[in-house]
Structure 1
């Protein structure tokens, strides 16, 4: 696909965003566009996708910023600010509610009390019943322990090319991560990489060691601690031998992953950063308030935005 065609697609998608398309239909549109790009011969050069940007305060000590493809939203509680980025690309800058600790739990400040952010950060093992039919009667025969925590905060997969991306924010130290990943991936090689001011621990596999089938198979895995908080960010790119059948798409995904790594910023809070975050929050609040004002029957969440 040449640049003019790609530019036309980007313009058409941008026009849809600026019109009356819903967020869900926009995601489907983006997904269809990317699947088209993954067809053999579709890419003449490694072209990255469009990206949303996420900004949040962490434990009242840091600001974390990162990007993620627009085809799937990360699972933070927050609001978009409808900033546009780039002449031939698009994406939203998202204000994310502060991530804080409350006792032994990790939460988002002022989020809905029912919002369980802990499931992304910590281990949450529960006993789930297993059912079976015994003597013609169906019932519980035993309980099994299931891990329902440590979920990815961001995830995307492309089945057609067998690529996947994941980002995790866990309360887990680097040594534990490295031990776990090494047991899952004994053929991977650990190195250290400095990208900008970030010092990453990296586990990589050669193309010869990619999985033969399935979607993904982490062959690029990056770890970075969030200061001395005991939390870590982890980003992984997955591929299989099937992914190598389209080398142009494979190169494009590696370029995309490189962008994600380079986008990560972990910055100690300063008065200037606090002011930036306050302005972003104010803009997100006002956009949501205006959206609520346009509704004939505003839903319950609008109440706090419409209060005098």
Structure 2
């Protein structure tokens, strides 16, 4: 009898992992910044998706998960657009295992910054995921994109994945204040930027921020031979070294229409630095993004970090 009871409890927990807790919401994003923040738990994830274009209320950040509520998942697809009127958080301070998935043709724009995971000395903010995947899938931030922000030992394993034509843009309004932040620490763990046929654009010439810099330890590129992501730099004790996969990372500053054409990008990206993996990208010849087109990513005249 006791074994049957234990089996029943196990099945109940297992079933709850796949069922949204708030059935009344039907998984649709509703107005209000707490609709995705106060729902998910380890035993009852909250699954959400858009039913049309959506703009969050002004003056407040939009939170996907906050302390005490984990496992909140938002999907943006069907060519819908999501606009955060302020900052966008995937895993607010102390919230873990949250996801935002942006699929082909859909765009997510933050009028402030985008954060994926944050921890402090009291609360962990780990394993939050933001994925931009497919032709025309776009993430843009007027200001910063910060992955694993906060205290290093409490905010590891947060990830931004740019896949199969998906792109992200830092400082999309070109005011010069935006930054890409990737948390890293030799002992406590890293957060990740993953590139597989994807690209991340940053306004201004940012190449020197990556050449022989430790931030490289938080960048992974796709390796066809092993069929998995590989680090372009890693730790060797308390120091770090680049790996053989550094040659798969392209770091280019698009300073003229000629360079844009050579790289396969629209002239609208002149003035941006781009991080991308050096391999063909299966996207159409032009993707309309905030009035700008993006061509296929090809082998570049890249500014390669030295070994």
TM-score by length of 1: 0.28
Rg (Cα) greater in structure: 1
TM-score by length of 2: 0.28
Which has the bigger relative contact order, CA under 8 A and spacing at least 6? 1
